[in-house]
Structure 1
């Protein structure tokens, strides 16, 4: 199996929706709202994909200033392809695209909290948020 990683700034909302579902991330994203998914994609600064041939098997979507900080908003890997280093590679490619001078920040899905420490990320417990109103 050869996995190809690439920047795909024009990823379609349909493909994004499919990987959200295949990864189980759809439970925490507006996966049924293609218009909103498209807005999420168009507002991103970095979209990195992982493909097995033509099949989309992973995606990372981030917002960054390319200098100081990079918020990795979505990291999704098809459940059938997990535990093969694809998520770690998507994170590395996203960090490279943002600039290694930028701190990469993310909020972990509850089931993935232990994963990030295993791949060398530091837990930062002092995060604050204002919830979405819609």
Structure 2
């Protein structure tokens, strides 16, 4: 399938079952709370830039971003159905996300372990001073 045959859409008014199915079919379901519909629904509804890829009625890709449309956007999820990977769909989802963000806006992400080698190959630069704080981690950590 060619990227030119894919329909790309903007917006987060999507069927939650289709989203969960896509996450599971792309391996992103391994790292997202797909069994918790409330969280998945919140993840989708609170993202302010969502680009999806469609093969007819089948959802085959998503780029879910939180952005200010001026300086930075956090690409929280990039998923392409395994059956449709290595066809340029992920790159096109990122490109359409960047176009909506604006000419001076930077895109940042946390790579899935299996995708660590993917992002440098398409132009991303590794950042050595990024940090995460998990929801279940105590904060602040005792300094004694």
Residue 10 of structure 1 deviates from its aligned partner by 0.5
**What is the root-mean-square deviation in Å for CA atoms of aligned residues?**
1.2
Which of 101, 117, 128 is equivalent to 2:131? 128
Report whether the alignment pairs 1:105 with 2:108.
Answer: yes
TM, length-normalised to structure 2: 0.89
Which residue in the other structure is 2:22 paired with? 19
Which residue in the other structure is 1:52 paired with? 55
Report whether the alignment pairs 1:81 with 2:99.
Answer: no
TM, length-normalised to structure 1: 0.96
CA deviations over 1:72-105 (Å, ceiling 9, x no partner): 0000000010000000110111111111211000
Cα distance between partner residues in 1 of 2:24 and 2:64: 15
Gaps of 5+ in 2: 138-144
Cα distance between partner residues in 2 of 1:7 and 1:131: 29
Gaps of 5+ in 1: none
Confirm or deny: 8 A CA contact 1:12 1:38 kept in the other structure.
no
The number of aligned residues is 134
Which of 95, 99, 121 is equivalent to 2:98? 95
Runs of 4+ in 1 over 6 A off after TM superposition: none
Query: What SS does the corresponding residue of 1:47 show, helix, strand or coil?
Result: strand
